[in-house]
Structure 1
Amino acid sequence: MTATISRQRHAAVAADSSGSSFSITANLLQLSKHIKYENLAAGLAGGVISTMVLHPLDLIKIRFAVSDGLKMRPQYDGMLDCMKTIWKLEGIRGLYQGVTPNIWGAGSSWGLYFLFYNAIKAYTQEGRQTELSACEHLVSAAEAGILTLCLTNPVWVTKTRLVLQYNADPSRKQYKGMMDALVKIYRHEGIPGLYRGFVPGLVGTSHAALQFMTYEGLKREQNKCKKMPSESLLSPLEYIAIAAISKIFAVAVTYPYQVVRARLQDQHNNYSGIVDVMRRTWSNEGVEGFYKGMVPNLVRVIPACCITFLVFENVSRLLLGEYH
C-alpha cells in the first residue's frame, strides 16, 4: 500500500514537472514568434553611432567615477582639464582608449535590449485590446535588461579596464586591446573576473526600466495630445525631447550604482564586494562619492540617448516597412 502511494506521488511529481517544463517551452516558443531582427539591427545602429561620437565623454565619466584619492590616479580640475590633459599626453588615441569594447558593448547592448524589449512587450500585449500599463512597461524593460546584461557584462568589464589605463606609454600598459584584455582577465581572474560588477549591473537594469517606462508613457501622452494612435511616428525633435527627459529622470534616480560598478571593475583597487565599496566610499568621500562623474555622465548620456532612440525609431520602422 505504502509503495503504491509512493509510486503515485512520484508519478504526480513527474507529471507536474513535465507540465511545468512544457509550459515554459511553450511560453518561450510563443515569445520567439515576436522576435524581430529589424529591432536588433536598428538598436545596433543607434548604439554604434552614439558611441563613436561620444566615447571621450564616457572615458572622462569613468575616470571621475573611480577618483577615490589613490596616488596613481591623475588629478583633474574638471571635465575640460581632464580632456586637455589626456589630449596633451596621448592625443586623440588617448581620448578613444577602450572605444572598441565600448562600440561592441553599446552596439550589442542596445541591439539586444531593443530586440528583447519589443519581443517581451509584444508577447505581453498579445490578444489584448488595451495598452500596456506603466508597470508592464517597467517589467518588460527590466526582463530585457537582465537578459542583455548576462550576455554583455564581460565586454563592459573590458571597457572599464581599458579606459583606466593611465600610462601614456603603450609598452607599459597592462592591456594592448580588447581581446588581450579579455584573455588576460579570464586567465588571471577566471569567469568571476569577467562578471565583476554584475550584481550592481542587475540593479542598473532598474535604470533602463525606469527610462523605458517614462519614454513609452511620454510617447503615448504626446500622441494623445495630437489625437493620434499611440504608436504613431513622432517628429525627430519630439523623440529627442522625450528621450532626454526619460534619461534625466533615470540617471537622477539610479546613478550611484554606476559608481559602485565602475569601482568594482577597476584594476587599481581591491574591494571584497558591493558592501565594501559602499562602506569605503561613504567613509572616505561621503554622499558626494556616489555621484562622482555624474555631470560628465549627463553631458554624455543625454545626447547619446537622443541619438540612439532617434536612430532606432526611424531605422526600425524603415526596416519593418512602417515608415510613412
Structure 2
Amino acid sequence: MAAVKNEGVSVTENFEIFSHLRYEHLVAGTTAGLTSTVTLHPLDVIKIRFAAHDGRHQYTPKYSGIANAFVTIAREEGLRGLYKGVVPNCWGAGASWGLYFLFYNSSRTIWAQRSKEELGPLENSLAAALSGALTLVITNPLWVVKTRLCLQHNDQSRRYSGMVDALTKIYHNEGVKGYYRGFVPGLFGVSHGAVQFVVYEEMKTTYGTYYNLPQNSQLGTVQYLTFAAISKIIAAGVTYPYQVVRTRLQNQYYTYKGSLDCIRQTWAFEGWRGFYKGLGSNLIRVTPATMITFVTYEKVSHFLMKRSKNFEA
C-alpha cells in the first residue's frame, strides 16, 4: 500500500524516524548524567560562584581559590551549601544527557542509513549541534533554577526554598522569559558539544581502525576514560566563555540588558580573563564528570543493546 504523503514526507518515513529513538540511549544517558552529577556537584557550585563574581558587586562571595572556596562554603553554609541546587542539577543533567544521547545517536543512525556511508567529522558535529539545541530548549529552565540556587550563599540573599519554589517564583515574577535567561549563549554552547563529540568519535574511530575492530564494538574502560578526558579538555578550553556569560545572565542579584551587554561589560571591567573565571574549577569538575558520564553511558548502553538483541532473538 502506498504511503500517504504529507508535504513531501511520507507518513511511513515519519514513523521510521521515531523508530530510531532507542530507549537504551535515553536510559544510559540519564544514568550517566545522574552518576556524575551527584558525585561532583560541589565543584559545580564553586565554578558557578567563580563565574558569577565580576569583581564589582558584593552579592556573590569572592574566594581566593578552589580550596578556599570549598573550605569557606563548608564552614559558613555546611555540607548543604556544597549541594545547593543539586536537585535541579540532577534533573537537568539526567534529562540533558539522556535526551542528548537519544537525539545524537538517532540522528547519526538516520543520517548513516540515508547516506550509506560512514559518518565523518562534519556529520558528527552537525548531529551533536542539533542534539544540543533540541536538548537546551527542553532543559534550560532547569539550568536557570540550578544556577540561582547555587548562588544563594546566606540567609539574607535567599530567595528560593527549593526547585519547585524557584520554578514558581521565576514564572510569577518574570514569566516564561525568565526560564530562558542565558538561552542565547547556551546556544553558542552547542558548539561545545559539537567539538567534544567530534573529537571523541574521531578518537574512537581512529583507535578502532588502527586495531582493526568491528564498527561500534565495545572498547575498554581505559580507552573510554582517555578519549572522554581529552575531548572534554579541548572542548572546554575552546568554548568556556559562553558559560561565564550564561551564568551571569542567569544570576538573580544583578542584570544585564542582554548577551552583548554582558560581553561588553565583562570585557570593559575584567578584560579577557573575565571570560575564563572558574575555568580551573570547571576543568577539575567536568573532566572527571565527563569520564564518569561517558564510561557509564558506554557500558550501560552496550548492556541494554545486547539485552534487547537477546530478547528479540
TM range (shorter): over 0.9
Q: Deviations over 1:153-206 (max 9, x none)?
A: 000000001000011x3x862000000000000000000000001111111011
1:122 maps to 2:71: no
Residue 40 of structure 1 aligns with an amino acid whose one-letter code is: L
Count how many residue pairs are aligned between Structure 1 and Structure 2.
305
1:61 maps to 2:22: no
1:37 maps to 2:8: no
**Deviation of 1:128 (Å):** 4.6
1:229 maps to 2:214: yes
1:199 maps to 2:214: no
2: CA distance between counterparts of 1:62 and 1:309? Answer: 23
Q: Secondary structure at the match of 1:92?
A: helix
Structure 2 residue aligned with 1:160:
147
Percent identity, aligned pairs only, is: 50
**Deviation of 1:91 (Å):** 1.3
Q: Deviations over 1:278-309 (max 9, x none)?
A: 00000000000000000000000000000000
1:148 maps to 2:98: no
Residue 231 of structure 2 aligns with an amino acid whose one-letter code is: S
Q: Deviations over 1:35-55 (max 9, x none)?
A: 100110000000000000000
Q: Deviations over 1:53-73 (max 9, x none)?
A: 000000100000011121222
Residue 187 of structure 1 aligns with an amino acid whose one-letter code is: H
Structure 2 residue aligned with 1:190:
175
1: CA distance between counterparts of 2:41 and 2:199? Answer: 25
Q: Moved runs in structure 1, 4+ residues, more than 6 A? A: none
1:84 maps to 2:71: yes
Which one of 52, 70, 87 corresponds to residue 38 of structure 2? 52
**Deviation of 1:127 (Å):** 4.7
2: CA distance between counterparts of 1:67 and 1:138? Answer: 32
Q: Deviations over 1:69-128 (max 9, x none)?
A: 212221211000000000001211010000000000000000000001010000001155
1: CA distance between counterparts of 2:157 and 2:243? Answer: 28
Kept in 2, the 8 Å contact 1:219–1:230? The answer is no
TM-score (norm 2): 0.94
Gaps of 5+ in 1: 1-17
Aligned-residue RMSD, C-alpha = 1.8
**Deviation of 1:20 (Å):** 6.6
1: CA distance between counterparts of 2:174 and 2:11? Answer: 35
The 3 A distance-change label for structure 1 pair 190 and 86 is same
Residue 181 of structure 2 aligns with an amino acid whose one-letter code is: R
TM-score (norm 1): 0.91
2: CA distance between counterparts of 1:172 and 1:58? Answer: 19
**Deviation of 1:21 (Å):** 2.9
**Deviation of 1:19 (Å):** 6.7
Kept in 2, the 8 Å contact 1:243–1:305? The answer is yes
The structure with more radius of gyration:
1
2: CA distance between counterparts of 1:162 and 1:151? Answer: 19
Kept in 2, the 8 Å contact 1:239–1:306? The answer is yes
Which one of 262, 265, 269 corresponds to residue 250 of structure 2? 265
Residue 276 of structure 1 aligns with an amino acid whose one-letter code is: D
Kept in 1, the 8 Å contact 2:81–2:153? The answer is no
Structure 1 residue aligned with 2:240:
255
Q: Secondary structure at the match of 2:159?
A: coil
2: CA distance between counterparts of 1:288 and 1:176? Answer: 34
